[in-house]
Amino acid sequence: MIKMQEVYMTYPNGVVALNGVNVTIEQGEFVYIVGQSGAGKSTFTKMLFREEVPTKGSVLVNNTDITSLKWKEVPYFRRNIGVVYQDFRLLPKLTVYENIAFALEVIEESPKSIRKRVMNVLDQVGLKNKARFIPDELSGGEQQRVAIARAMVNHPSLLIADEPTGNLDPETSWEIMRILEEINASGTTILMATHSKEIVNTIKKRVIAMEDGMIVRDEHRGEYGYEV
């Protein structure tokens, strides 16, 4: 479902962030992306929701070549991809409920059905009782669960998580991992960039390691492989 062929990315300032990436990821896989800061992990994930366009090469996501998408088509394309970040990126003035409803692509849906979808996804992350809270009133782990609910409300086939546990304590990080594993078990592909050696070495998944814009290792049930 994801296929990159000879992908190169040079930023306008001349930095080569991807230097000939080839990879195939099947629907339903759970993949960790590891590597030192600056290795190209974020640029790699940004290609997949067309936040960046490669300088050269092709990037297929669900049979769509992102390099040929017109700007008008990008929002439709992105509906099938959820993204969560280390810093949650919730809208601070909106309630938990509103943050999620805001992301919902409403196409002639009744208020009742919208309410049902938002509450269902909140239930999945265990936060039905926090629907009326604003982000500041929640712990970091709860805010990340809201961000995951928001990313999942349109039932995307791919969830991209860029260091989702980077701001969380170990116990909270394991809770977030349990939720990501549940989402993956229902068929959603998960791509998670991470610096957590402990998580990667404990919850064994495919590991793609990047260095200097290249994939230097790709292992089924791999190890983190770095000291920090």
Measured from the CB of residue 74, what is the shortest distance to ligand ADP in angstroms?
Answer: 6
Longest dimension (CA), the chain: 52
Question: Quick one: 47 or 96, whose CB is closer to ligand ADP?
Answer: 47
Measured from the CB of residue 88, what is the shortest distance to ligand ADP in angstroms?
Answer: 18
For the chain, what percentages of helix, strand and coil (3-state, to nearest 5) are there?
Answer: 35, 25, 40
Question: Quick one: 47 or 118, whose CB is closer to ligand ADP?
Answer: 47
Measured from the CB of residue 67, what is the shortest distance to ligand ADP in angstroms?
Answer: 8
15-44 positions binding ligand ADP, by CB under 6 A: 15, 17, 35, 37-43
Question: Quick one: 71 or 108, whose CB is closer to ligand ADP?
Answer: 71
Measured from the CB of residue 150, what is the shortest distance to ligand ADP in angstroms?
Answer: 22
Rounded CA separation 24/132 (Å): 41
Structure tokens at 76: 């439709």
Q: Distance from CA of residue 13 to its chain's centroid?
A: 26
Residue 210 and residue 34 in contact, taking contact as beta carbons nearer than 8 Å: yes
Is 11 an interacting residue with respect to ligand ADP (CB under 6 A)? Answer: yes
Question: Residues in contact with ligand ADP, total (CB under 6 A)?
Answer: 14
Is 13 an interacting residue with respect to ligand ADP (CB under 6 A)? Answer: yes
65-84 positions binding ligand ADP, by CB under 6 A: 71
Measured from the CB of residue 141, what is the shortest distance to ligand ADP in angstroms?
Answer: 23
Bridge partners (DSSP) of residue 209 are 34, 217
Binding span for ligand ADP by CB under 6 A among 11-19, 54-62, 113-121, 195-203 = 11-19
Token look-up 């805001």 returns 102
Contacts of 157 (CB under 8 A, 6+ apart): 1, 27, 62, 80, 81, 187, 188, 189
Burial annotation 11-25 (CB, 10 A radius, 16+ → b, else e): eeeeebbbbebebeb
Rounded CA separation 90/27 (Å): 28
Binding span for ligand ADP by CB under 6 A among 7-15, 122-130, 135-143, 178-186 = 7-15
Residue 47 and residue 7 in contact, taking contact as beta carbons nearer than 8 Å: yes
Is 53 an interacting residue with respect to ligand ADP (CB under 6 A)? Answer: yes
Contact residues toward ligand ADP (CB under 6 A) are 11, 13, 15, 17, 35, 37-43, 53, 71
